[in-house]
Amino acid sequence: MSTTAFVTPADVEEFGRELDRIREEIIASLGDRDARYIRGVIATQRKLELGGRVLLFASWLPPAWMAGTAALATAKILENMEIGHNVLHGQWDWMRDPKIHSTTWEWDTASPADQWKHSHNFVHHTWTNVLGKDRDIGYSLLRVSPEQPWHPVYLLQPIYNTLLALVFEYGIALYDLEVERIPAGDKSLKETWTQARAIAGKVRRQIVKDYLAFPLLAGPGFVPVLLGNLTANLARNVWAHTIIFCGHFPEGAEVFTEDQLEGETRGEWYVRQLLGSCNIDGSRLLHLMSGNLSHQIEHHLFPDLPSNRYAEIAPRIRALCERFGLPYTSGSLARQTGSVYKRILRLALPGPRHHHQAPPAEPPAPDLRAIA
């Protein structure tokens, strides 16, 4: 039975109005403390990167190599997760600071900002968890929902998912090219080539910076510095993969069909964002290092609200869900990670039965449009 089977259309719309009120309240209260927060995170990230690179120049000392690599990995995670991802969502555009604006920021990852903003901000956040619309369901590579037809290639997905985690930034950059649209004529080779050149340019700059320039500056420490940079990049990739997968693919995250979007109201859009997202319970440090995507529910409800406000509004969202009888899926990092990998392993095999399909002895489960 659908998780919203006992929610009336009137309740869905009231739920949406309550969320709109929270949104308006947060927007009205944005000010100096929020600006100090993001500027403080950026300053900390830059100090960590500088300190990490300096320590790596003394990497003939094992403690210096370990400390430098850890500091650099932390800096790269902060830059991608709490800064880059959220700046590119326009969360800090209200500051009108050209240095921290979604139209000017370019982040330290293989995906060019403009390409990522289209595939993520527009496609994913508009069509969240809608089969045939949201390409982020398995990233066109993995079977993560019973609704996706099985193919023998999925037998290997536990292996290639592990490889994807190691090279996650490059996987996302290539995924953003949407090459599967070319045979159908939905995308020209010229457009694809232009985008591929932009990706190649970013990849080249990253390779020169991390694997040539800084190692060469270290002189005889070339190899340890190169290995430190490589380790930091691998750690950043695996961490980003883990957080993103834990927010989208654990048990409890629902998928929808295109027909359920017909006439979708504001309240129904909110319900879809809620049902398609999962949170990660943890400390303030975990929330910071995850880019506050540990509050994936709040992020999908309010993608352009500053991330430092998600922890503040999360208890209110949970209380609203309890009031309206809607699920609020959350769990520890270990639990959500285990749930994701269990799903990837199970869905590598044929089946299981479509979870919206009722057994023959029962009437079909109601779809979201009929009850929301």
Q: Give 58-66's long-range contacts (Cβ < 8 A, gap of 24+).
A: 58/221, 59/218, 59/221, 59/224, 59/225, 59/228, 60/220, 60/221, 60/224, 65/224, 65/228
pLDDT score for 181: 83
Residue 152 has pLDDT above 80, yes or no: yes
Looking at residue 354, its pLDDT comes to 54
Binned at pLDDT 50, 70 and 90, residue 343 comes out as very high
- What pLDDT score does 140 carry? 84
Which tokens sit at 209? 């910076």
Share of the chain above pLDDT 90, in %: 85
pLDDT of 362 above 50: no
Find out whether 4 and 321 touch, Cβ atoms under 8 Å.
no
Q: Residue 359 in contact with residue 308, Cβ under 8 Å?
A: no
Q: What is the pLDDT of residue 187?
A: 86
At 176, the pLDDT band (50, 70, 90 cuts) reads confident
Mean pLDDT, rounded, of the chain: 92
How far apart, in whole angstroms, are the C-alpha atoms of residue 104 and residue 32?
22
CA dist., res. 75 & res. 151, Å (int): 39
Torsion-angle region of residue 13: left (phi > 0), alpha (psi -120 to 50) or beta?
alpha
The dihedral of CA 71, 76, 81, 87: what is its sign? positive
pLDDT at 36: 98
Coil, helix or strand at residue 333: helix
Is 180 a residue whose pLDDT tops 90? no
Give every CB contact of residue 241 below 8 A, 6+ residues apart in sequence: 164, 165, 168
**What number is the average pLDDT over the span 324-339?**
97
Within 10 Å of residue 266's Cβ, how many Cβ atoms? Answer: 14
Cα distance between residue 109 and residue 168, in whole Å: 10
161 pLDDT more than 70: yes
Range in 2-6, 186-190, 233-237 with the lowest mean pLDDT? 2-6
Average pLDDT over residues 200-226: 96
Distance CA 272, CA 275 (A): 5
The CA distance from 349 to 152, in Å, is 8
**DSSP assignment of 59-86:** TTSHHHHHHHHHHHHHHHHHIIIIIIHH
- Candidates 10, 37, 71, 8; CA nearest to 305 is 37
User: Quick one: CA torsion of 129, 107, 243, 254, rounded to 10 degrees?
Assistant: -10
Mean pLDDT of 133-139: 91
Residues 87, 168, 143: CA angle, nearest 5 degrees = 110
Strand partners, 264: none
Upper half-sphere CA count for residue 205 (Cβ side, 13 Å): 12
pLDDT of residue 355: 47
Decide if pLDDT at 365 tops 50.
no
Whole-model pTM over 0.85: yes
Q: What is the pLDDT of residue 126?
A: 93
Question: Using 50, 70 and 90 to split pLDDT, how confident is the model at 364?
Answer: very low
